[in-house]
Amino acid sequence: MFEFNKSVIVGYDLSNEYSQISYYTSGDDIAKTVSIKEDEEEYCIPLCLFKRSEVNQWFVGADAIRYSQADEGEMIWQLWDRALIGEPVTVAGEQFDPIALLTLYVRRTLNMLTNNVNKNSIEGIMFTVPGLTKRAIEVLTAVSSALDYKSAKIGFLGREESIFYFIINQPKELWGHDVAVYDYAGKDLTCYTFRLNRITRPVVSFVEKQDFTPGDLPDREKDDAFLDIVHQTVDGRVVSCAYLLGDGFAGEWCNDSLRELCRNRRSFRGNNLYSRGACYAMQDRLKGVKNEDKNIIFLGRDKLKANIGMDVIRGRENSYLALLDGGENWFDSKKKAEVILNEGNSFTVKITPLDGRNVRNVNIVLDGLNEHEPKSVRLRIEAVMESEDVLRINVTDLGFGEFFEGSNRLFTRTISLTEDNGV
């Protein structure tokens, strides 16, 4: 039984084939994972729904598969892809919103936690998906807003960041150098390589992704194919350990390749790395990182790769006004600030990459701003990321109290963080 007074953090891994749910309870050493079979480590919950014919009765996951074999009705697979596409799903002649179907699945599977934790003690839920695109964020936002966890903080991250959080919450000797994660689901195999750049301060972490398609091969040839992938991904690198994920590694087919992979390094098999990593990520957001090495920034595809701010004067001192912080999720990066324009009709935004190189100063010209006395115009500046590499600056003329009336005119400028369009 669970204890009502313990706070709970949930990590939810969502792909097109299955979901996994891990949870971290205050006082525990590691995150645990929900199993669909009692006393067994069966963590993958099939991502499907089954609707019984002529009645409004739905089943999810393993129950959906079981009822589909014994009852008349219709199965719905690929719930994640369907939600991303957004086209209505026809079931027994009736159309359904694909996001509503995905929400039903997520809500029902989250209810599986009630055997282990008190629902009202859940402080946060972190969803992780294979690719955190703008559309994926829209879908996850719609799903999470329809869940009955109003007091819980909800977050999203890609699998690369889940890997980062999982690894840095392992013993340090396992990630003193690079770490390889092999995910073999279906016919596709993905290798993620965790790396640290210890030269920068703070230390920057990257997770590189490589996709392979070994194909449907006999065991001997499959072993040779994976051995070739191992050489491609670890040769010339110092790799501390490797993780093997996915049903593709089931059986005894990979003897030679594993012998090579495990030479001078440790290896682990499992399936719940992403959901556990999502737990640790939410733990970080709510309470700060648990790992003792706190000065590591993850820099993935979903992250803002530069600090954005302005050089200003506070009183008589030169100062820096931070607008957006590098290392944050680009889709969460948004801030407003009010400044007084010293003179003229322009100001400068400073873009500083996290590696400290190629600092850019971008001049923002407010064409059409009314003529004004020095220090007589107050501006509201809003910095917001439109994508991982496009910054939008919105500027509103607020005037200066009763002395100079503001026009409330809005000026907008977009800036590419990957192009040298600064001055």
**389-415, pLDDT tens digit by residue?**
899 999 998 877 555 666 778 899 999
- The pLDDT value recorded for residue 392 is 96
pLDDT for residue 403: 55
Q: What are the extents of the domains in the chain?
A: 8-157, 162-298, 306-416
What pLDDT, in 10s, does the model give residues 53-105? 888 899 999 999 999 988 789 999 999 999 999 999 999 889 999 999 999 99
Whose tokens are 């092999």? That residue is: 182
For residue 366, pLDDT beyond 70: yes
**Segment 39-48 mean pLDDT:** 89
How much is the average pLDDT of 274-296? 80
- The per-residue pLDDT for 362 is 95
Q: Could you give the 3-state DSSP secondary structure of residue 105?
A: helix
Going from the C-alpha of 320 to that of each of 260, 304, 337, 359, the distances in angstroms are 52, 19, 12, 14
Distance CA 68, CA 65 (A): 5
Q: Which residues pair with 335 in a beta bridge?
A: 383
Predicted local confidence at residue 134, as pLDDT: 86
Say which residue, 274 or 316, is predicted with more confidence: 274
Average pLDDT over residues 385-390: 90
162-298 topology per CATH:
Nucleotidyltransferase; domain 5 (3.30.420)
Confidence grade of residue 148 (pLDDT, cut at 50, 70, 90): confident
The Cα–Cα gap between 325 and 334 comes to 10
For the stretch 227-282, pLDDT in tens is 999 999 999 999 999 999 998 898 889 889 999 999 888 999 988 999 999 999 99
More confident residue, 382 or 24: 382
Backbone angles phi and psi of 126, in degrees to 5: -110, 120
The per-residue pLDDT for 47 is 96
Options 3.30.420, 2.60.34, 2.40.128, 3.30.70; which CATH number does 306-416 get? 2.60.34
CATH architecture of 8-157: 2-Layer Sandwich (3.30)
The predicted pLDDT at position 103 comes to 97
The yes-or-no verdict on residue 16 having pLDDT over 60 is yes
pLDDT of 43 strictly over 50? yes
Question: Among residues 365, 385, 378, which one has the least CA distance to residue 408?
Answer: 378
Higher per-residue pLDDT: 30 or 351: 351
pLDDT mean across residues, the chain: 89
Whether the pLDDT of residue 375 is over 80: the answer is no
| 102-129: pLDDT as tens digits | 999 999 999 999 888 888 899 999 999 9
Instruction: Say yes or no: do domains 8-157 and 162-298 share a fold.
Output: yes
Q: What is the largest CA-CA distance in the chain?
A: 83
- Residue that has been written with the tokens 């008190």 in this structure: 118
Residue 325 has pLDDT above 80, yes or no: yes
Residue 422 has pLDDT above 50, yes or no: no
pLDDT at position 423 is 38
| For range 48-57, the mean pLDDT | 92
21 vs 34, 37, 81, 205, CA distance in Å? Answer: 6, 14, 19, 25
Q: End-to-end alpha-carbon separation of the chain, Å?
A: 63
